[in-house]
Amino acid sequence: MKAIYLLFAVIFFSITLVPVVYASGDAEQGKIIFKKCKMCHTLGKGNKYGGGPDLQGVLGRPAGTFEEYDYSNGIKTYGRKGNTWCEGNLDEFLKNPRKKPFKAKMYFRLKKEKDREDVIAYLGENSDNTEACAKKK
């Protein structure tokens, strides 16, 4: 029985410790995935639908700061604490926005890691702010 627990522990730690490499994200593929996001988000078109904030330049932008959008308190507080969207926290967010890193009012999840990598690569291409993330590292 103990061996099984040990095995689970090993698997658990190897999963959580593997560094996530976003350079592997495919922006072309991400553009296709972004079609799902377009249900609520625009890219460089302002607050056209009002469903979600515009995501042009979101990588490297402090969370919850697109001016024309009425964010939930959770995301605003997260941004006020000095959190900027970069690969790591964006990945965590897209995995389950209702849970981490705060409870957002975004009812959409990207469960596949590859999809998240690709869409983040695409958002990176559509941002002039990524320097803010490079500095963070």
The binder of ligand HEC chosen from 22, 25, 42, 85 (CB under 6 A): 85
Q: If 0-12 CB within 10 Å is exposed, 13-18 middle and 19+ buried, where does residue 2 land? A: exposed
User: In whole angstroms, how close is the CB of 46 to ligand HEC at the nearest point?
Assistant: 13
The answer to whether 121 contacts ligand HEC (rule: CB under 6 A) is no
Contact string (CB under 6 A) for ligand HEC, positions 63-82, x = contact? xx-x----xx-xx-------
The answer to whether 58 contacts ligand HEC (rule: CB under 6 A) is yes
Residue position matching structure tokens 């959409």:
108
Only one of the segments 3-11, 17-25, 99-107, 124-132 lies at the binding site for ligand HEC (rule: CB under 6 A); that segment is: 99-107
The answer to whether 133 contacts ligand HEC (rule: CB under 6 A) is no
| 8 A C-beta contact, residue 87 and residue 120 | yes
The answer to whether 22 contacts ligand HEC (rule: CB under 6 A) is no
Number of residues that bind ligand HEC (CB under 6 A): 27
Q: Is the peptide bond before 97 cis (omega within 30 degrees of 0)?
A: no
The answer to whether 37 contacts ligand HEC (rule: CB under 6 A) is yes
| 8 A C-beta contact, residue 94 and residue 109 | yes
Q: What span, in angstroms and rounded, lies between the C-alpha atoms of 84 and 124?
A: 13
Buried b (16+ CB within 10 A) or exposed e, 68-83: ebebeebbeebbeeeb
List contacts with ligand HEC (CB under 6 A): 36-37, 39-41, 51-53, 55, 58, 63-64, 66, 71-72, 74-75, 85, 90, 94, 104-108, 110, 119
